[in-house]
Amino acid sequence: MTYLEFEARWRPAGGAERANYGLFLTDLCDLLGLPRPDVTTDNPAQDAYVLERAVLFDDGAGKKSTGRIDLYKRGCFVFETKQGVSRLEEVLQENEDETSTNKNTASAAARQRGSAAARQRGSA
């Protein structure tokens, strides 16, 4: 897949992050010449490079919940897609807010179509 093909395919996408992110990430891997993620198993110890990696959140007061990482590669990165956010700073702030308070704080007025962001290990 070339960049122009990738852009043409994803330019019209909008408003369906949950429906599109797996295809988007697979296409992105193809564009970058990287292997596609592995199939997720029922054993998290084996799931080193997968879509929808399960993670357990503990609020410290005994309440636990399960979340998902859009694309996970052990020891390398965590990739969360955010469709429709116009600036990287808003994406990073939204991720921080969701992690700490488990709610979405992005303003609908700041949304655009077809953007996504990645956060590498060690970045803020």
User: What average pLDDT does the segment 70-87 reach?
Assistant: 82
Residue holding tokens 């395919």?
9
Whole-structure pTM over 0.75, yes or no?
no
- The pLDDT tens digits of the residues spanning 25-52 come to 999 999 999 999 999 998 888 999 999 9
How far apart are alpha carbons 37 and 91 in whole angstroms? 23
Closest CA to 51 of 25, 16, 19, 31: 25
Q: How far apart are the C-alpha atoms of 122 and 117, rounded to whole Å?
A: 15
pLDDT tier, 100 (very low <50, low <70, confident <90, very high otherwise): low
Structure tokens given for 101: 């308070």
Q: What is the DSSP letter of 109?
A: G
Query: How far is residue 69's CA from residue 79's CA, in Å, rounded to a whole number?
Result: 7
What's the helix, strand, coil split of the chain in %, to 5? Answer: 35, 25, 40
- Which ranges of 1-124 does DSSP label H, i.e. alpha helix? 3-10, 17-32, 88-101
Residue located via tokens 């592995």? 38
pLDDT, mean over the chain: 77
Determine the Cα angle at 116 with ends 68 and 4, to 5°.
130
> What's the average model confidence in pLDDT over 91-105?
58
